[in-house]
């Protein structure tokens, strides 16, 4: 973990701690340092992880689009932990890692389809304060995806907002999951996309 967390991590102990560390290690290959920060409030950690696990069982939205949406929301909010973890998970789930690495600069990258661009635009707009999703964008996505997938898209972006904002507020940063599995670095947002 890089320096700067706002709460020092504590030891993850007990039977529940052993189960959580086993699951984390199985999923990412290591026990994230951030686990010790969230361990200070086990109920919050457990419920957040439960919601995150449940989002993985939603199937109305294409998994590639869901991954791009989560990463675009994380990039908009500025959560390096979320970007890194979701890039790692995209690779781990067999999704297109080359495209996933370009999500932070999706406006300039030539690898995305118009639907993928609309999904990432929606994720960014929904992540602004206040949310800036337009009727036109929502109508276009409804026509392309259908109602169930659009509801799932909105919910996935909302969950990423909860996770990303909590991580940033606690000072949780990237733990280099993607580096550990040999993925090339994520693209960085350009000044053009930040001004857009």
**Could you tell me the pTM of the whole model?**
0.89
Radius of gyration, alpha carbons of the chain: 17
Residues 133 and 161 in one domain: yes
- 83 located within any domain: yes
Task: Show the tokens assigned to 107.
Answer: 């406006």
Closest CA to 66 of 44, 96, 110, 25: 96
The CATH number of residue 93's host domain is 1.20.1290.10
Range from 51-65, 80-94, 139-153 carrying the lowest mean pLDDT: 80-94
pLDDT of 181 over the 70 cut: no
Model confidence pLDDT, tens digit, residues 130-163? 999 999 999 999 999 999 999 999 999 999 999 9
Residues 49 and 69 in one domain: no
pLDDT (average), residues 91-109: 91
Residues 16 and 38 in one domain: yes
Range from 69-78, 116-125, 166-175, 185-194 carrying the lowest mean pLDDT: 185-194
Residues 151 and 187 in one domain: yes
- 41 located within any domain: yes
Q: How confident is the model at residue 113 (pLDDT cuts 50, 70, 90)?
A: very high
- 4 located within any domain: no
Domain residue limits at 111? 59-195
Residues 70 and 105 in one domain: yes
Burial class (CB in 10 A: 0-12, 13-18, 19+), 139: exposed
Q: Whats the size of the chain, residue-wise?
A: 196
Q: How confident is the model at residue 43 (pLDDT cuts 50, 70, 90)?
A: very high
pLDDT (average), residues 96-109: 92
Burial class (CB in 10 A: 0-12, 13-18, 19+), 56: exposed
- 5 located within any domain: no
- 152 located within any domain: yes
Closest CA to 179 of 53, 112, 91, 49: 91
Give the DSSP letter string of 136-162. HHHHHHHHHH-HHHHHHHHHHHHHHHH
3-class secondary-structure state, position 24 = helix
Residues 17 and 110 in one domain: no
pLDDT of 3 over the 50 cut: yes
How far is the C-alpha of 67 from the C-alpha of 62, rounded, in Å?
9
Residues 52 and 65 in one domain: no
Q: How confident is the model at residue 13 (pLDDT cuts 50, 70, 90)?
A: very high
pLDDT (average), residues 64-92: 93
């Amino acid at each position: 973990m890089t320096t700067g967390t706002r709460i020092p991590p504590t030891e993850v102990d007990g039977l529940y701690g052993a189960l959580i560390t086993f699951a984390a290690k199985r999923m990412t290959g290591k026990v994230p340092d951030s686990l010790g920060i969230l361990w200070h409030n086990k109920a919050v950690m457990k419920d957040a992880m439960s919601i995150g696990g449940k989002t993985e069982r939603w199937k109305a939205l294409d998994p590639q689009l869901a991954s791009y949406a989560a990463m675009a929301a994380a990039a908009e909010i500025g959560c390096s932990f979320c970007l890194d973890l979701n890039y790692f998970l995209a690779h781990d789930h067999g999704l297109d890692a080359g495209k996933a690495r370009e999500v932070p600069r999706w406006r300039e990258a030539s690898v995305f389809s118009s639907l993928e661009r609309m999904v990432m635009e929606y994720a960014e707009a929904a992540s602004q304060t206040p949310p800036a999703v337009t009727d036109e964008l929502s109508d276009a996505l409804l026509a392309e995806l259908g109602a169930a997938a659009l509801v799932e898209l909105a919910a996935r972006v909302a969950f990423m907002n909860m996770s990303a904002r909590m991580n940033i507020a606690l000072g949780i940063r990237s733990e280099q999951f993607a580096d550990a599995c040999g993925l090339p670095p994520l693209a960085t947002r350009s000044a053009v996309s930040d001004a857009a």
